[in-house]
Amino acid sequence: MTAVSPKPWPDADPRVDALVNDVIGRVADKWTMLILEVLADHGELRFTRVGKLVPGISQKMLTQTLRQMERDGLVVRTVHPVIPPRVEYRLTELGLSLGAAFCGVWTWAEDNLERIETARRSFDARQDLLTPP
Amino acid sequence: MTAVSPKPWPDADPRVDALVNDVIGRVADKWTMLILEVLADHGELRFTRVGKLVPGISQKMLTQTLRQMERDGLVVRTVHPVIPPRVEYRLTELGLSLGAAFCGVWTWAEDNLERIETARRSFDARQDLLTPP
DNA sequence: CGGAATCCATAACGATACTG
DNA sequence: CAGTATCGTTATGGATTCCG
Question: Does nucleic acid strand D have an atom less than 7 angstroms from the CB of B58?
Answer: yes
CA R_g for chain B = 19
- Compute the C-alpha angle A95/A97/A100, nearest 5°: 115
Residues of B in contact with A30 (CB under 8 A): 21, 24-25
Can you tell me the mean pLDDT for A2-23?
56
Quickly state the pLDDT bin for A1 (edges 50, 70, 90): very low
Show the beta-strand stretches assigned E in B13-116.
Answer: 45-46, 75-80, 86-91
Can you tell me the mean pLDDT for B6-33?
67
Residues of B in contact with A97 (CB under 8 A): 108, 112
User: In this predicted model, what pLDDT tens digit does every residue of A34-50 receive, in sequence order?
Assistant: 899 999 999 999 999 99
Using a 7 Å CB cut-off, which residues contact strand C? Answer: A 29-31, 56-61, 84-85; B 46-49, 59-60, 63, 66-67, 77, 84-87
Three-class secondary structure of residue B79 per DSSP: strand
Query: Is the pLDDT reported for residue B133 higher than 90?
Result: no
Q: Identify whether the C-beta of residue A89 lies closer than 8 Å to the C-beta of residue B3.
A: no
pLDDT at res. B34: 87
| Positions of strand C less than 7 angstroms from a protein CB | 1-6, 13-17, 20
Q: How far is the CA of A27 from the C1' of D6 (A)?
A: 27
Angstroms from A110 CA to nearest CA on chain B:
6
Most A CBs within 10 A among B31, B105, B122, B123, hence the mutation to make, goes to B105
Q: How far is the CA of A131 from the C1' of C2 (A)?
A: 20
Q: How far is the CA of B68 from the C1' of C8 (A)?
A: 24
Question: Does nucleic acid strand D have an atom less than 7 angstroms from the CB of A43?
Answer: no
On the 0-12 / 13-18 / 19+ scale of CB atoms within 10 A, A79 is exposed
pLDDT at res. A30: 80
Q: How far is the CA of A82 from the C1' of D11 (A)?
A: 40
Q: Identify whether the C-beta of residue B70 lies closer than 8 Å to the C-beta of residue B76.
A: yes
How far apart are the C-alpha atoms of B119 and A74, rounded to whole Å? 9
Which residue in A30, A33, A123 is closest to B70 by CB distance? A123
| Helix residue spans in A43-92 (DSSP H) | 47-53, 59-71
Three-class secondary structure of residue B46 per DSSP: strand
Can you tell me the mean pLDDT for A60-66?
96
Angstroms from B83 CA to nearest CA on chain A:
22
How far apart are the C-alpha atoms of A130 and A121, rounded to whole Å? 15
Please tell me the pTM assigned to this model. 0.83
